[in-house]
Structure 1
Amino acid sequence: MSRRRGIMSDKLKEEIAKELGFYDVVQHEGWGGIKSRDAGNMVKRAIEIAQQQLTQRQ
């Protein structure tokens, strides 16, 4: 069984988790320990960052 590669790098995920204040949970419990709300906020923030980068390139 193959495993899908993630779109976000581990570094980016860690930076966003730190910014949103739940990185301590990731350190102690892993990514499976975060709340679904935190995961959703992390995706939302990643999209915002990507949109900002696209805007700056144009």
Structure 2
Amino acid sequence: MRYEPGVDVLASHSLLLAIPAFVPALAVVAVVVAVAVRDRRAERRENTEAAKESEDD
């Protein structure tokens, strides 16, 4: 690749071609993390409710 004086190269073609691969992968990771966080919060809530019910008995 030749660089001309006064020309700014913003991104090479390899970076532009990698974007379609990384964006869906990051979306999948975000969904998995969101589901895991929601599941852990629900489990924590269920455990505290069960502990309160066992104390009431």
Q: What band does the TM-score fall into relative to the shorter chain? A: 0.3 to 0.5
Radius of gyration: which is bigger? 2
TM-score by length of 1: 0.41
Structure showing greater relative contact order (alpha-carbon pairs closer than 8 Å, 6 or more residues apart): 1
